[in-house]
A and B are shown apart, each in its own frame.
Chain A
């Protein structure tokens, strides 16, 4: 559907074996090859692959009055006996479980043509060579940088074929690639005798982008070096600037839950129509962006993915849903069914292990008129630029996040000043009307957006986050 790669249609073949099973039913299948390189410094300590996974999940829907018994069972056993046993397990589970919706409407056989770009074709055809080239370019990017080395890291490529079939005749398939990188950059030595510093960065994307490495390593080396001389941040409520890499750590998770159908059904969501931000704030969920890890032609039930607003003019919109939740909430699926667990919101592979539930595709916060990063800093006058948080650990029920500042910078008199490290930054991402939150306290948005994993956003300036450190509570007091 989306690429030159002709994906396998395992789900349809398995679906043929379910024809005698009463509907509604659905089969989700995944064939994945995985290749990995793990680095120790600039040498390869472990080369992995192919790691081959071929598996599927069968979901059955059984009516129970106004409810539905949903039975899901995953398996890697493709034999006739294995498929029969999987169907048997799903039937057994459906007898016990219950979901408050009757007669769920599965997607019909009409599948969209075209779709977003999802496959790195060079990687798909030559994964081992592509990863080797990436590693060579990564190591080369550190050459000529005295006192800065990669301490460890990995590059992992997953090449997967997804197929979905259901009792209505749906037969859809697409291919996608996912690249996960993790790199520790260490700064050491020098005459000052300071302990070494590290910038530890991870990324998930759909392409191996080796050409960007020299510029990225420039930035990473600077952060690692600055971490060695960083002081504690101040305590208090100061303006905080968040680049996309930081916001991605908590905005999609909180937004996806608080504006999603799981929370709506359980009365934990922010109701549609609630004011959550200023009149100029519009946020959308977009499953159609090229190269976004949350994009695909269809969601994990087979419903076409689309772009849909979740906040319009500062007010929450109707929740994002899958087939079951949509039925329970008397609406229709928004194409947001995803198969994941709480540890890996967008797993590169092994999705067939999980029954679907609604999740954001990619959250898109459009650019504002705040200008470049330098202009945003100038507008803040005094505050903190947070470059990395240890783990923001978003708490989806309360909508809060918080974590240690691994590296950031004080902003003094409209300019980046000394590096800061340690202390805690946190607050609410989104909240009920009148509750201070990141969305209600957005004072500026940069003029350019960047896509980082599950979020496309400009740099944000927020006035409502709290910072706890050891330095003077007045940011300019010691300047």
Chain B
């Protein structure tokens, strides 16, 4: 990316000046990305270079609503097409109020350089990495199929607005994953392990033979694992699942655009104690190297740590300029677009349950009976209803204060408020952010991190 995105700044500034004649505020986010995906499985080797795609999206205030237009090109014709489209909309707009909230005037440039760029590895070395990972997994008996992948990307974003903000960021991400599938008598089970963070090959540290073998061994054991228990019971979430809980419950619920729509069960609880003293949840886009970290959000605000629950008290929400203005606070640098074709929303970055003082043995003893949910797979929010769904690949029963049998995939369902109320302990585990992709509603996926500590509460669990 040597002929950089910033080479287009003059054209973009000209476009903003043109729009300024028809609107009190306009902004543009231009983007270029490159990367590579190498995927090996037992039958094929697939290599994809990221699409050669670049473009820009313009947003302008149209009197009483926002209007956007975009084009998949940074040449003058593409930019002109987007601006023409936006001008047409602005021409028919009613004169109304000024744009909501304060416009960012931040100026800055952050070019995070990976310690060991995967671009320098070259495709061959990436291929070798995936093949080696696959060999480790396939060496485990009953593992009949395996897929491993290594994906890296470099993304440039340039944000400019008519208030003078000018924020450029270049970020790199690396992601490795292995999915061993064990099979026996027509039954298949799989397990998955992944690592991912901003940076380069250093993100893959720890993804070694021992980890891959353990992952594959668990896939094999799942063939003979029992059914999970079913009904309401004590549950311990492992640190990854705990991060997903934070994301689905307090992450989506505190995206303040939902507050504006009166579409969150959390709005009336702001300022109240909702969980135990040991519970603190944050969204932190400034975690160095975090998968979901950002240098600037897509309204031009520097990445930021926001307290959501502080020692049990619900204290904060995630804001863009509009919601911040409505609630008399400041934007929290959580306005994000999936890419230059997608709309800007209030979104999470890295959502974290902070460590407390219990170790796992103490939590298991405290639980007595129940189940541990391990290896999170997915989650689903219910912002208005105040419920959540978490799915995991596997778990272990807890019987008489001991961890016992391995059990298969499970889903947890429950009321967030009741789940928080029933938290009896939060672990003292060191934070490890796991990489994920988050949609808002049913689309607009972007990278988010999650993590936390073991956490003991109660919920309904069932096989899935």
Chain A interface residues toward B at CB < 8 A: 34, 36, 38, 40-41, 43-55, 57, 70-77, 82, 85-86, 89, 92-93, 96-100, 151-152, 180, 182, 184, 186, 195-198, 200, 202, 227, 232, 235, 265-268, 328, 343-344, 350, 352-353, 355, 390-391, 393, 395, 397-398, 400-406, 421-427, 431-433, 435, 466-470
Contact = CB atoms under 8 A, between A and B. Distances in A.
B413 A422 contact: yes
Contacts of A180: 443
B46 A97 contact: yes
A34 B342 CA distance: 11
Nearest to A53: B72
A257 to B, nearest CB: 11
Nearest to B127: A96
Given A391-B389, A400-B409, 16 more contacts: A51-B57, A54-B73, A72-B48, A76-B52, A76-B55, A184-B261, A202-B441, A232-B460, A268-B188, A328-B43, A403-B411, A406-B385, A423-B462, A424-B389, A424-B463, A432-B187
B186 A404 contact: no
Contact of A73 (B52, B73, B144): B52
B145 interface: yes
A72 B52 CA distance: 12
Nearest to A391: B380
B231 interface: yes
B113 interface: no
Given A52-B81, A235-B231, A266-B43, A390 B389 contact: yes
Given A50-B69, A76-B52, A151 B261 contact: yes
B51 interface: yes
Interface in B372-402: 377-378, 380, 382, 384-389, 391
B341 interface: yes
B189 interface: yes
Given A76-B53, A266-B41, A466-B462, A49 B85 contact: yes
Contacts of A197: 384-385
A74 B442 contact: no
B163 interface: no
Contact of A393 (B65, B263, B391): B391
Contacts of A195: 265, 386
A100 B186 contact: no
A76 B85 CA distance: 19
A98 B261 CA distance: 51
A85 B52 contact: yes
Contact of A47 (B62, B382, B387, B391): B62
Contacts of B183: 267-268
B207 to A, nearest CB: 21
Interface of B: 41-49, 51-55, 57, 62, 64-73, 78, 81-82, 85, 89, 123-124, 127, 144-145, 181, 183, 185-190, 230-232, 260-263, 265, 341, 343, 377-378, 380, 382, 384-389, 391, 409-415, 437, 439, 441-443, 445, 460-464
Contacts of A57: 51
Nearest to B75: A79
A422 B414 contact: yes
B417 to A, nearest CB: 10
A66 to B, nearest CB: 13
A89 B49 contact: yes
8 contacts: A48-B69, A50-B85, A70-B46, A267-B145, A403-B380, A406-B385, A423-B462, A426-B462
Given A46-B67, A51-B70, A400-B409, A96 B45 contact: yes
B385 A468 contact: no
Contacts of B382: 198, 200, 390, 404, 406
* 6 residue pairs, one from A and one from B, having the closest CB atoms: A402-B464, A468-B462, A432-B186, A424-B462, A74-B51, A75-B52
Contacts of A44: 65
A403 B186 contact: no
Contact of B460 (A227, A401, A422): A422
In terms of DSSP, what is the predominant structure of the interface of chain B? strand
Given A36-B343, A355-B48, A424-B411, A402 B463 contact: yes
B19 to A, nearest CB: 15
- Name the residue in B65, B81, B185, B415 with the highest tally of chain A Cβ atoms < 10 Å from its Cβ: B65
A47 B65 contact: yes
B293 to A, nearest CB: 21
Contacts of A34: 341
Contacts of A469: 231, 460, 462
Given A198-B385, A202-B441, A466-B463, A51 B69 contact: yes
A350 B339 CA distance: 12
B53 A75 contact: yes
B232 A40 contact: no
Contacts of A89: 49, 52
Contacts of B89: 47
Interface hub of B54, B69, B377, B415 (most chain A Cβ within 10 A): B69
A74 B53 contact: yes
A403 to B, nearest CB: 6
Contacts of B377: 393
B464 A426 contact: yes
Given A426-B464, A466-B230, A469-B460, A343 B437 contact: yes
Contacts of B265: 195
Contacts of A343: 437, 439, 445
A435 B187 contact: yes
A82 B81 CA distance: 20
B61 to A, nearest CB: 11
A93 B49 contact: yes
B464 A400 contact: yes
Contact of A268 (B57, B181, B460, B462): B181
A468 B461 contact: yes
A93 B57 CA distance: 31
Contacts of A41: 261
B186 A235 contact: no
Contact of A404 (B189, B411, B439, B445): B411
Contact of A93 (B47, B62, B411): B47
Given A48-B67, A53-B72, A55-B72, A98 B45 contact: yes
A402 B411 contact: yes
